[in-house]
Structure 1
Amino acid sequence: MPSIRVEKIGDEAEPVAVIEDFHPDPDGLIRQAERSVLTLRGEFYPGVRAPVAPDYFQAVGPILAQVAAEVFGARERMSVTRGLWSLADSAPETLSLGQRIPHVDGVEPGLIAVVHYLSRRDHGGTAFYRHRSTRFETIDQTRRDAYFDALTRDFDRLGEPEPAYIAGDTPLFERTARFDPVFNRAIVYRSRLLHCAEISNTAPPPRDVREGRLTVASFLTAR
């Protein structure tokens, strides 16, 4: 049975729900991922992806609806925007600027992100960050312009980070929390939180569903 705990992180005390034993058949999910065709999708994720089957959400929907209501205050409905097999495998030297710094998944109200870890090897979890010059830990619609203007000034003053995965504090960002990639654990957080996968710069994960950094990344709307 899934178990839920909630941690409040950073100065803004944003909740992150940690769900252990998230899916009833994680090994079946891995077999599904092996049958999927994972390809590059978009410019921000450092690896390959493919849509998950709808039955994934039939299995985890009830626990996500509970978390959306009890942790994030959803009162009317929760809907799934998309769910993606995600296999991070990009070499550090190939990363774009957007892949070298923390990011948010969306700035609109009610957006929630879920990362479900499906690797038995520790290829890195997820870390959350504070932008030093603004002190922002979340970027919503009211902060978006100020944040990107400040980030541009940071790059002008300090230079862009060298091609590498971010790992801990940097001149531009400080880490506020990190969560380990425990097998069949999911973390759930508001999409506006600055975050990034923690991936090794010395030994990036392989492009192999069973040996690499396999996750399901889901994006929800809760009202």
Structure 2
Amino acid sequence: MMTQSITRRQIGNEAEPLVVIDGFASDPDALRTAAAEAVFVSAGQHYPGIRAALPDTYLRDQLPLVARALGREFGPCRRIRVVDAQFSIVTMAPDALDIRQRLPHVDAYGRDRIALIHYLSPTNRDGTAFFRHRDTGFETIDETRAPVFFERLGSEIAAAPPQGYIADDTALFERTALVDAAYNRALLYRSYVLHSGAIADDAVLWSDPAVGRLTITAFLAIE
């Protein structure tokens, strides 16, 4: 039986909740086997890599633990609705990224939307970083902040386009937290927190799930 531990912390000046769960799935090796047999395709949109469908049982098995791990820090929750969930592997070379992939991002604006990342590589340690926009001080982007944030960010990147993946402090963003990947570790945080995959400059971005940066990424709504 896999030993589980749940660590709760608050990050940045805005003290957003971040939950780290080690030993997240009871059989991570079975998930790796499923990924090896899955058909991966280009993720499209903003994700710099490929994605594939999950086993049907994954969310059924994991949602009770997610509900327990969320606790009270994320607000009242009567049920969790799955918006999207897939195997994911980052494969895009740093010099092939478009401008949106070179910056911290948010996945949704509402406080009721939760992101889940489940790391499934035994060797890759490239985790997830969280950021503060220096000019505005924003660490989260909601519908009210979005117009100001994107207007200022557009001016900044026009003057000095960023290069490669962002994993640490830059002229435009200050890193507020970093969680390294570890086998069978999962993160939960609000989708409107500025974040990015912390991909090392020298990372070898294999598309093979046996050796690549294999994760499960899911987006949930708490209702």
TM over 0.5: yes
Letter in 2 for 1:194: L
1:106-125 mapped onto 2 (5 Å cutoff): 106-125=108-127
**In structure 2, C-alpha distance between the alignment counterparts of 1:77 and 1:168, rounded to whole Å:** 35
Q: Does 1:165 align with 2:162?
A: no
Q: Is contact 2:124-2:181 (8 Å) kept?
A: yes
Q: Does 1:182 align with 2:178?
A: no
Deviation at 1:69, TM superposition (A): 4.0
Identity across the alignment (%): 42
Deviation at 1:42, TM superposition (A): 2.1
TM-score by length of 2: 0.95
CA RMSD of aligned residues (A): 1.2
Unaligned runs of 5+ in 2: none
- Listed one character per residue, the Cα deviations across residues 155-198 of structure 1 (whole Å, up to 9, x for unaligned) are 23x32112x11121111111000001010000000000000001
Deviation at 1:123, TM superposition (A): 4.2
TM-score by length of 1: 0.95
**In structure 2, C-alpha distance between the alignment counterparts of 1:167 and 1:140, rounded to whole Å:** 23
**In structure 2, C-alpha distance between the alignment counterparts of 1:98 and 1:220, rounded to whole Å:** 23
**In structure 2, C-alpha distance between the alignment counterparts of 1:88 and 1:36, rounded to whole Å:** 16
Q: Does 1:83 align with 2:85?
A: yes
**In structure 1, C-alpha distance between the alignment counterparts of 2:143 and 2:204, rounded to whole Å:** 34
3-state secondary structure, aligned to 2:69: helix
**In structure 2, C-alpha distance between the alignment counterparts of 1:92 and 1:201, rounded to whole Å:** 8
Q: Which residue of 2 aligns with 1:73?
A: 75
Unaligned runs of 5+ in 1: none
Deviation at 1:205, TM superposition (A): 2.2
Q: Does 1:9 align with 2:2?
A: no
**In structure 2, C-alpha distance between the alignment counterparts of 1:202 and 1:5, rounded to whole Å:** 30
Q: Which residue of 1 aligns with 2:134?
A: 132
**In structure 1, C-alpha distance between the alignment counterparts of 2:71 and 2:80, rounded to whole Å:** 9
3-state secondary structure, aligned to 1:70: coil
3-state secondary structure, aligned to 1:30: helix
**In structure 2, C-alpha distance between the alignment counterparts of 1:155 and 1:33, rounded to whole Å:** 37
Q: Which residue of 1 aligns with 2:44?
A: 42
- Listed one character per residue, the Cα deviations across residues 124-143 of structure 1 (whole Å, up to 9, x for unaligned) are 00000000110000001111
**In structure 2, C-alpha distance between the alignment counterparts of 1:220 and 1:3, rounded to whole Å:** 21
**In structure 2, C-alpha distance between the alignment counterparts of 1:114 and 1:103, rounded to whole Å:** 15
Q: Which residue of 2 aligns with 1:215?
A: 215
